[in-house]
A and B are shown apart, each in its own frame.
Chain A
Amino acid sequence: DAGITQSPRHKVTETGTPVTLRCHQTENHRYMYWYRQDPGHGLRLIHYSYGVKDTDKGEVSDGYSVSRSKTEDFLLTLESATSSQTSVYFCAIREYSNQPQHFGDGTRLSIL
Chain B
Amino acid sequence: TQLLEQSPQFLSIQEGENLTVYCNSSSVFSSLQWYRQEPGEGPVLLVTVVTGGEVKKLKRLTFQFGDARKDSSLHITAAQPGDTGLYLCAGVVNAGNNRKLIWGLGTSLGVNP
Contact = CB atoms under 8 A, between A and B. Distances in A.
Contact of A100 (B42, B48, B98, B105): B48
Given A48-B98, A50-B98, A97-B98, A106 B40 contact: yes
A22 interface: no
Given A90-B42, A105-B40, A40 B105 contact: yes
Of all A-B residue pairs in the complex, the 8 with the closest CB atoms, nearest first, are A103-B42, A42-B105, A100-B45, A43-B103, A97-B99, A42-B103, A105-B41, A103-B43
A98 B31 CA distance: 10
B21 to A, nearest CB: 14
Interface in A78-112: 90, 92, 97-98, 100-106
B11 to A, nearest CB: 16
Interface of A: 4, 31, 40-45, 48, 50, 56, 90, 92, 97-98, 100-106
Nearest to B106: A42
A44 B105 CA distance: 10
Given A31-B98, A100-B48, A106-B41, 19 more contacts: A4-B42, A41-B105, A42-B103, A42-B104, A42-B106, A44-B103, A45-B101, A50-B97, A90-B42, A92-B42, A97-B98, A97-B99, A101-B45, A101-B101, A102-B45, A104-B42, A105-B40, A105-B41, A106-B40
Contacts of A41: 105
B33 interface: yes
B73 to A, nearest CB: 18
